[in-house]
Structure formats: structure tokens, C-alpha cells
Structure 1
Amino acid sequence: MDAEIRPHVGVGPFRFGMSVEEARAAVAGRCPFRTVSCDEEPGQIVLRQDDFEMDVVLGFTKGALSGVELVRFRNEDADVRVLLDGLDVFRTPSEDLFQQLAERGHTIEENDLGFDVLPELKVILANRSSHEYPVDEEGDPLSYDYVLVADQI
């Protein structure tokens, strides 16, 4: 499964501005995720893909999709790629991804909290997890494990 991040548009079948009903229909259709939690008039819908152990959070503002959060799969054998500008966000080492995005002309703002922001794309990348993901020799995560794609940052 590939989930393509389309800055200013959305992720996979989820498009900014779509209604809660349209998002639910996308999940019920070809989307391999199930709804984990959702309020009647949601501020967010939490989705889970059980085989990959991956989560997606759809955020809504005034009934319209305004952000998509992707949390890296915990099953390392998962047949899933989350792509940004053709690069696999969750499998490419974060230092390499950072450099490759910069080489493609994207501005990246780092901060001490572990969030890297691509302001013109309205994308945030982070290593924020407490899960057991692959790490380097110093124990730092090799790859990003969280992405936020939003209509505003």
C-alpha cells in the first residue's frame, strides 16, 4: 500500500475540505483502515490498519478535513510506503530524507523539540514515538515516525 502525501491537497484518498461523511465513505470504500474512534460531530477520526499496526488521524475544522496525521507502522514487515515528493518518509533515514528534500529545493526548519517543518508544503515531520522503532548506534530513531499534513501550519 502506498499513501502519497500531496501538500496543499491531502494524503491518499483524503482531501482537505472534504466533509466528515466523505472521509467516512473513503474509509468504507477502498481504504484498508478501520475507524477506532470518532465523535458524532468529530473534531477528529482515528483510523487503524491492524496488519501494519499503523494509525491515521483525520482532523476536522468546522466539518471540513484540515489535517492528516500519520503514525509510522509498528510492523516492520508492513508492505506500506508513505511518500513525499517520491521519497519514503518512514523508511528513509531521517538525516537522508532531510538532505534529499533540501536538495529538491524544500525549506526545512528544525527545532529543539524534534519537529522538522516544511513550511511551504505545510508538512511537519517528527521522531516522537515511544514505540520500539529501528535506532542507530546512539539509540536515536533512524527514520521519522510521525507526519502531519495540514491546510495551515
Structure 2
Amino acid sequence: MELELLPQVGVGPLRLGMSVEEARGAVQEWGLLRVASSDPEPGQITLKHDDSELNVVLGFTKGALSGVELFRFLDEDADVQVLLDGLDVFRTPSEDLFEQLAERGHTITENDLGFDALPELKVILANQSSYEYPVDEDGDPLYYDYVRVADQI
């Protein structure tokens, strides 16, 4: 499975600004993710890719898709790629990804909370480390495990 992050646009067939009904239809037509939970008029819809254990959360503001959050897969052998500007966000070591995005001209701002933002793209990357993800010799996460594409950050 390949998911392309489209800054200021969406992820895969999910487009920022879609209505809840359009987003549900796109998910159903896409067929890669199942709806894990949502309310009839949700503030968010949680999606899951069962094989890889990748989670996706669709956030809605006033009935329109305003953000898509992806949480890194738990199956390290999963055939999943989450791409930003052709780079695999969840398989490229975060330090390398940070450098490669900067080399491509993207401005990246860091904060002490573990979030790195690409303001011009309205994308946030983070190491939340709430699961057993690969770590380096110091115990720090090797990869980003969270990404958010939104209409504003």
C-alpha cells in the first residue's frame, strides 16, 4: 500500500474540504482502510489498515475534512509506504528525512515537544513513541511515527 501525502490537498483520495459523506465514500471506494469508529456527524473518523496496523484519523471542522493524521504501522514488515515529496516518512530515519526535506528547500521548524512542522506545506511530523517502535542505541525513536496534513497548522 502506498499513501501519498499531498500538502494542502489531502492524502491519497482524501481531499481537504470534503464533506463527511464524501470522505466516507472515498474511503469505501478506496477499499484499503476500514472505518474503525465514528459518530453519525463526526468531529473525526478513525480508520485502520488491519494488515499493517496503520491508523488514520480524519478530522472535520464544520462538516469539512480539515486534517488527516497518520500513525505509523506497528508491523515492521508491512508493505506500506507513506510518501512526502517522494520520501518515505515512516521508513526513513527521522534525522535523514529532516535533512532531505531541507535539501529540497522545505523550511522545517522544530519545537521542544517533539513536533517538527513544515509551515509552507501545512504538515506536522512527530515522534510520539507511544508504541514499541525501533529506537537507536540511546533509546530515541529512529523514525517519525506521526504525520498530519491539514488546511492549517
Q: Which bin holds the TM-score, normalised by the shorter protein?
A: over 0.9
Amino acid paired to 1:73: F
Following superposition of structure 1 onto structure 2, how do residues 54-93 of structure 1 map, counting pairs within 5 Å? 54-93=54-93
Backbone CA RMSD of aligned residues: 0.7
1:12-59 Cα deviation digits (max 9, x unpaired): 110011111111111111231111110111110000111101100000
Separation (CA, whole Å) in 2 of partners of 1:70 and 1:63: 20
Larger displacement relative to structure 2 (22-31 or 131-140): 22-31
Q: Does 1:133 align with 2:133?
A: yes
Alignment partner, residue 20 of structure 1: 20
- 1:4-153 alignment to 2 at 5 Å? 4-153=4-153
Amino acid at match of 1:92: T
Question: After TM superposition, which residue ranges in structure 1, 4 or more long, deviate above 4 angstroms?
Answer: none
Work out the CA distance in 2 between the residues paired with 1:151 and 1:33: 22
| Equivalent-residue separation in structure 1 for 2:96 and 2:120 (angstroms) | 20
Distance 1:133 1:116 in 2: 18
2:57 is paired with a residue of what secondary structure?
Answer: strand
Sequence identity percentage: 76
Q: Within 2, Cα distance between the matches of 1:129 and 1:33?
A: 23
Report SS of the residue matched to 1:29.
helix
What's the secondary structure of 2:125's corresponding residue?
A: strand
Q: Quote the Cα distance in structure 1 between the aligned partners of 2:35 and 2:63.
A: 17
CA distance in 2, matches of 1:127, 1:16: 24
For 1:117 and 1:136, how far apart are their aligned partners in 2?
23
Question: Could you tell me the TM-score, scaled by structure 1's length?
Answer: 0.98
